[in-house]
Structure 1
Amino acid sequence: MRYILVNKPFEVLPQFTDEKGRATLKELVQVPNVYPVGRLDYDSEGLMLLTDDKQLQFRIAEPRYKVPKTYWVQVEGIPTEEALEQLRRGVQISDGFTAPAKVEMLPEQPEQLWERSKPVRFRAAIPTSWLELTIAEGMNRQVRKMTAAVGFPTLRLIRAKLADLTLEKLAPGKWRDLTPAEVQELKMAVADTPENEGPANARRKPTQKYDPNFEEKLAAEKAARARRAFEKSGPSRGPKRQTSGTGTGRSGGRQADGPAGATRGGRSASGAPRGGKPGGIAPRSTGKTGGPGAGRPSSGRPASPSAKPPRRGK
């Protein structure tokens, strides 16, 4: 599997395709089958992780695992201590109430910060400040909404750290593979712990232990399920056999076959009216089974003078 660290520049989409022709990660990283872990907005910069490890992608994005993401935030104005405390407690934004964040004022711009391709537009009469803000959530444009909610809009946003990964001296637009030690540390950061599996998350769908061979095992399990389903279905069944008896099959009435002497519609199975003498006139063949004319004598009269004609249905 591949684990790639990239420094996304300003105004580059955090994806590999764009119908509008804007710059994407494809222009920076020519590695097939790797995908971004989370998002970093078009107008934001900094650290992004690309990988083909789907299990790791899910766990870093899942708030339950509380993977910290640290940002350098340039805001308009000088935040008050009250505003910083609001961010530390959590604030109400359009997506909901945020979890408590770690926030510190920086005395100046971070030393390792690079010049942006387009300078930040700000008002000369209003000073700017730098914050270091750490969250473990991933709401849409969360950091920008948080600083705006306390009265200090964001001017520039850089992701500086993901778990223990940092950019160090990686220039904008450049990338590198993670070392085996970095990969191991990242997997430990999203490992199952009592904190992640505690009562607060009891209703969440349980996840499996981290497995580096997860994709191969998942494919084998799907193939086994498909094979069992095919074997269970068995050979296709042939057409149903027709019920033996007089006539070519079922018609409007009941079939004529059955135990000897059984009556149907006031007549015996042999076709003679109930109470008729044996050896009476043979019933006229109509080619139908159990229909209204089944068993009726050819003369239209009962087989015996003492037998009453059958009652016609209403």
Structure 2
Amino acid sequence: MQWLNSWDAFIKVVESGSMAAAARRLDCSRAQISKQVAELEQSFGVRLFERSTRKLSLTPSGEIFHQHALRALEAIHSTEVAVRNLGDAPHGVLRISASITFGRLYIAPLLPKIVAKYPELTCELVLTDALVDLLEDNIDLALRLTKSPPQDAVARKLAHMKRVICATPAYFAAHGEPKTPHELAHHQCFNFLQLEDGREWQLLDRNGDEIRIPIDSKIRFNNVDCILDATLAGHGIALLPTYLCGPEIAAGRLKTLFDDFEPMSSFGRHLYACYTPSRVRVPKVRVLLDELASLFQPAPPWESAASS
């Protein structure tokens, strides 16, 4: 199936924008990529790329071939996954992706339990706050806190992700406790460093009406652990997920504000398990989904701990 390498090289050139970039992704030389593309063009008897000194662009024939090549390689990949995972016993390598903090707290402790139950299974946990590509990164299942699950993947809702506005009692004693959400604008608040949310908090009242609060964030982080640490140190008010700050609230180290309002986030309200359609019936993915369902349903562990 040597032709597969040429088709994959062609797709990588389209995705990367140049033969040199595609060669870096495939860990080969630019000459090899050029040769594979030339062999494809010779085989089909058409030009697939318009070449200039500045860039490559697809010809009409190239666009048609690109569409069909993507579908063909996805079908081949799905077939390989299905054949390799025949049988009922989970085995092989199970690659899971999760955000750094959430994965460390809740997914990493789950893996020893899984491999103890299924000794032919090896688990790999990839912790990153960046969005992974399920196919490109060979991820069997990704746990995503998102507003919009990927349309090309199966997305199974696992848990509601509640967020709260909170600070230490010492902070409120020193700076006063806001009586209305709009008073938050006069306090030091910690915002997650991302473009989508900008510098405001969005809250929903009981009627579903949205309130936007401009936030003074002189210190911003791209890591939620840093936000929690700064909040516990008494430096300001934060909007935090309860999976992280729940124990601190239960212990009285943090106090919540405006519990009648629901804080909104670009991360959305739910945790999803995302996987490609080719892995729907794969035993190792199925057993992981069962373990996740047991962990997060009917209530996630941080809510169960808070209520008890």
Do both proteins adopt the same fold according to a TM-score greater than 0.5, normalized to the shorter chain? no
TM range (shorter): under 0.3
Q: Does 1 or 2 have the higher relative contact order (CA < 8 Å, sep 6+)?
A: 2
- Rg bigger for which structure? 1
Q: What is the TM-score when the length of structure 2 is the normalising length? A: 0.22
Q: Which has the higher helix share?
A: 2
Query: As a proportion of its length, which structure holds more strand?
Result: 2
